[in-house]
């Protein structure tokens, strides 16, 4: 199968965004930066694309202009091992951005992220439907997800 690389469209902030993302996630790096030349359509020397890896997965940003912006129709989900990871990524990514409901946030560049504890899927698919529904109701009332509170709700406490 060919390699599939998500590409994120920015106006002019692509390099700043890539540098920010590689600073947030371990085992990440910028692998290539290209610039517009005399043929345009942006001024020669302006950053055109930045290729980078987040924990070994390839991504690219394109400084394509102001025509397109992000919305919640696309988001990146972070499967966090525990509350410490949830807190870490929530704090880093929401700084300068905006917190949303149910573990969603927009970073300072407008990109949507879901910061999700790994146990959430287990709670939502619990064979005891009452337990699953109590966890769901608790999640719907949260911004940053709280693992202990989700379990307490599931257990009816």
| Overall number of domains in the chain | 2
11 and 59 both lie in a single domain:
yes
143 and 83 both lie in a single domain:
yes
Tens digit of each residue's pLDDT (9 = 90 or more) over 91-120: 999 999 999 999 999 999 999 999 999 999
Q: Scanning the structure block, which residue is given the tokens 């290209």?
A: 34
Kindly report the CATH number assigned to the domain that includes residue 16: 3.30.720.100
54 and 79 both lie in a single domain:
no
Quote the domain boundaries for residue 82.
75-154
* In-domain check, residue 1: no
Identify whether 41 is preceded by a cis peptide bond (ω within 30 of 0): yes
59 and 79 both lie in a single domain:
no
Percent of the chain with pLDDT over 70: 100
Q: Is the pLDDT of residue 43 over 90?
A: yes
Q: Give the pTM.
A: 0.92
H or E element, residue 125: none
Phi, psi (5° rounding) for residue 29?
Answer: -160, 155
């Amino acid at each position: 199968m060919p390699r599939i690389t998500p590409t994120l469209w920015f106006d002019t902030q692509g390099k700043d965004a890539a540098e920010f993302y590689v600073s947030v996630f371990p085992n990440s790096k910028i692998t290539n930066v290209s610039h517009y030349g005399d043929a345009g359509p942006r001024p020669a020397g302006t950053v055109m694309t930045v290729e980078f890896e987040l924990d070994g997965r390839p991504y690219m940003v394109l400084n394509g202009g102001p025509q397109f912006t992000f919305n919640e129709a696309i988001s990146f989900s972070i499967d966090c091992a525990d509350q410490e990871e949830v807190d870490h990524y929530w704090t880093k990514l929401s700084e300068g951005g905006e917190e949303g409901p149910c573990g969603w946030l927009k970073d300072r560049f407008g990109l949507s992220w879901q910061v999700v504890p790994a146990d959430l899927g287990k709670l939502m698919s619990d064979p005891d439907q009452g337990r699953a529904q109590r966890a769901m109701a608790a999640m719907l009332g949260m911004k940053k997800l709280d693992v202990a509170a989700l379990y307490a709700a599931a257990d009816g406490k």
